[in-house]
Amino acid sequence: MIEPIEARVSPSRGLKLAVILIVATGGLLAGAYAATTISEIPFSTLTRDPTTTLGAPWYVGAISNATVLIAVAGGVVGVFAASVVPPTSGRSFRGLLGWLGSLVVFLSLDDLYLLHEEVAPSLGVPEVALYGTYGMVFIIVLWAYRRPLIELTNYFLLILGMLALGVSLAVDVALARGLFTLPISGSYVEDPAKVIGIVLIATFLVDASRIGVGMGRRGRRERSKTPAEGVPSEVG
């Protein structure tokens, strides 16, 4: 049974939000247009789908695109769930969902726009340095929120997902540096490991978010009860 939720809808607030979004999006597009004009790059190069711009078949990058979508979906779900976990009863769990969700979204954007492969090296930042930074941030977050991670989640999904991503990264770096060779193309090892890792991590976030939303619902029910109702508080 779905519990009724009190909604406070304000048309003026919705209109104000729409205006802000239109102005912000228009500003970004105007900036992009100015940049393409200065660089003498067609504006459509930035706004159209890559396969259309390059004249490539529709299936080019299909699995890569799907992987990014899965990762972003999992990350956004985690960030949203963090906003409904009661701060007083689940502050650490809230932080776990919020930080991991944000990191996954950021890493998805990195993968989508080739930040560590193309953008960072072009600015003089080694690719390995970014890998190290990402790894350190993940370790710090997992250590800081180790208690709710172990006590409240199916953390083995996260561990297996990170191991799979580690395999993908190790193969990528090793092949790029010529540390060893494979009898088959590296993409047959690197890419499947990456897809599996992201699917596992996204699943972990969705599953943990389910737990977080449940905590939020229980918190709302407990706050809505009054002594006059004579209903004992839930335990556990």
CA 148/CA 96 separation, integer angstroms: 8
pLDDT in tens, the chain (236 residues): 444 545 566 778 889 999 999 999 999 999 999 999 999 899 988 888 888 888 899 899 899 999 999 999 999 999 999 988 877 556 688 899 999 999 999 999 999 998 888 888 888 888 888 888 998 999 999 999 999 999 889 999 999 999 999 999 888 878 777 777 777 776 788 899 999 999 999 999 999 999 888 876 666 666 666 554 444 444 43
Evaluate whether 207 touches 101 at the Cβ level (below 8 Å).
no
CA 52/CA 93 separation, integer angstroms: 43
CA 71/CA 195 separation, integer angstroms: 10
Q: What contacts 199, CB < 8 A, 6 or more positions away?
A: 67, 70, 161
- Measured from the Cβ of residue 145, the count of other Cβ atoms closer than 10 Å reads 21
CA 127/CA 122 separation, integer angstroms: 10
Please name the helix (run of DSSP H) or strand (run of DSSP E) that holds residue 217, with its range, or none.
helix 187-224
Quote the pTM value: 0.82
Phi-psi region of 3 (alpha: psi -120 to 50; beta: other; left: phi over 0): beta
DSSP letter, residue 183 = S
